[in-house]
Amino acid sequence: MKEYYPLTAAQKMHHNWIKKYKTQQVSGVSVVASLQSPLDFGLLKKCIQLEFERYGCMRIRFTKPDVNGEVQQYIVKKDNRDIPIKDLSGMSLAEADRLMQQWAYQTFDGDDIPLCDVTMLKLPEGFNGFFIHMDHRLIDSCGIVVMINDVMQLYTHFRFKSAYPENLANFEEVLAKDLKKANNEKRFAKDKKFWDDQLDALGEPLYSDIQGPSVLEEARKLHGNKNLRAADIELNNLFVEVKDYYLEHEPTQNLIDFCMNHQLSMTNLLLLGIRTYLSKVNNGQEDITIENFISRRSTHDEWTSGGSRTIMFPCRTVIAPETEFIAAAYEIQNVQNRIYMHSNYDPELIEKEMRRRYNTPENTTYESCYLTYQPMPVKMDNPHLVDIKQHSKWFANGAATKKMYLTVSHTEHGGMNFSYHYQTAHLTEHDMELLYYYMMRILFKGIAEPDMTIGEIMEQI
């Protein structure tokens, strides 16, 4: 007997984007994980098939949408699929990456179907591994990293007699617990009060664009409302480009040391960098909101159950120019800590409440920037593989629901990668260059002179 469950808030977030943008492409997530070493593909296939048994989220299916477009989920008991193998070894690595990028654009279309593809790969330069393409309603990036590591632990167990990996938490049990928590009336009331109090205290948010105030001005003209505080989102041309910037080991370490010495989290420092840039290019605007993604993985079960747990919440701060850099960082940290405590809330309800209070027009937003800070590198963390060169890469799904989505991750060489995904309908690579350049100037000025005010930093950079 199949058990049917509603979607969690995190799953609903992706599901709503699919409905809004009318394509599943916006919910695709793809990654390749490979080693510069021969692999026993028969054994790898067995390990991937075993992973389908161990990691319940890979077996999620969704029912046919009802009249409102809502679906339910269930987990099939078995998925006895074959795992295909493709030989791309005759190409260059860049050509193989380009081909995989095309695969990442593919969509899963249909109801009650698997939403997960795994393909084993022979890659150029002696790399061998596998490519995973999934729907974000099944898994987030932390979940994928856990899955890749588990597959390789299974592989090294069977190949080199290393310890059998510990059991992963049961996805269905964790899902049921999450849904129960979300339905806890007392918890819901506390979370709602927190988010409503923020609107009571600060009023309607104010849009700030990467390209400056002209974007809001245009929206005001378009809607015939000179007091409009939200700007239009792009609904038609969702094509996204990706621009990566690499921050070397030494400056990365300086940022990490600053965070350690001041008991700050890197997320909050990055949020300060982005918000200061937005303030600078929007005539010193003090009220800035950035959407920040939260992993919602804290307990052992949450870490190992897979699933889509990442969810975004608006980080809104009003920071005056005379505020010292370090004080501003603590102010953001204070806001974020409180958000963490109320992160079981469904962010769709925050948006609905704002639309109700302020009559915000449909298809407008208060945010232009979205941030994910990812402390886990996509690296196979396995003692048997430690000396083997790896080629691992995330592929963008090619359709962005957000104007600019920045993912910051750590690299295996001790640096940080800043990956800017931007909608080409409105933004160019030059916009990303400016954003990265000024973010770095702001952050390094600030950590060098934490007593300097935000206004002084904006003036000097």
Partner 1 sequence: MTKEMQFKTIVAQYCEVKPEDMNNDMRFREDLGFSSLDFMSFLGELEDTFDVELEEQEALKVLTVGQALDLLEKL
Q: Which residues bind partner 1 (CB under 8 A)?
A: 181, 184, 186-187, 190, 263, 265, 294-296, 298-301, 333, 336-338, 340-344
What CA–CA distances, in Å, run from 134 to 31, 91, 108, 457? 9, 25, 8, 43
Q: Collapsing DSSP states into helix, strand and coil, what is residue 59? A: helix
The least distance separating partner 1 from the CB of residue 337, rounded to whole angstroms, comes to: 6
Q: How far is CA 320 from the centre of its chain?
A: 29
The dihedral sign for the CA sequence 286, 273, 342, 176: positive
The least distance separating partner 1 from the CB of residue 329, rounded to whole angstroms, comes to: 13
For partner 1, which is the closer residue by CB, 181 or 357?
181
For partner 1, which is the closer residue by CB, 25 or 304?
304
For partner 1, which is the closer residue by CB, 253 or 298?
298
Instruction: Give buried/exposed letters for 423-461 (b at 16+ CB in 10 A, else e).
Output: beebbeeebbeebbebbbbbbbbbbeebebbbbbbbeeb
End-to-end, the C-alpha distance of the chain in Å comes to 63
For partner 1, which is the closer residue by CB, 98 or 300?
300
Helices (H), 185-316: 185-202, 214-223, 249-261, 266-281, 300-304
The least distance separating partner 1 from the CB of residue 142, rounded to whole angstroms, comes to: 12
The least distance separating partner 1 from the CB of residue 309, rounded to whole angstroms, comes to: 11
The least distance separating partner 1 from the CB of residue 178, rounded to whole angstroms, comes to: 12
- Which of 57, 86, 89 lies closest to 73 in space, CA to CA? 57
The dihedral sign for the CA sequence 208, 348, 264, 297: negative
Confirm if 412 and 377 have CB atoms less than 8 A apart. Answer: yes
For partner 1, which is the closer residue by CB, 111 or 257?
257
The least distance separating partner 1 from the CB of residue 340, rounded to whole angstroms, comes to: 4
The least distance separating partner 1 from the CB of residue 299, rounded to whole angstroms, comes to: 4
For partner 1, which is the closer residue by CB, 24 or 372?
372
For partner 1, which is the closer residue by CB, 102 or 298?
298
The least distance separating partner 1 from the CB of residue 154, rounded to whole angstroms, comes to: 22
The least distance separating partner 1 from the CB of residue 190, rounded to whole angstroms, comes to: 8
The dihedral sign for the CA sequence 440, 446, 448, 452: positive
- Which of 178, 125, 165, 118 lies closest to 144 in space, CA to CA? 118
The bridge status of strand 390-395 relative to strand 73-75 is unpaired
Tokens of 430: 């030059």
Separation between Cα atoms, residue 348 and residue 10, nearest integer Å: 10
What CA–CA distances, in Å, run from 315 to 131, 166, 291, 333, 412? 34, 36, 6, 10, 29
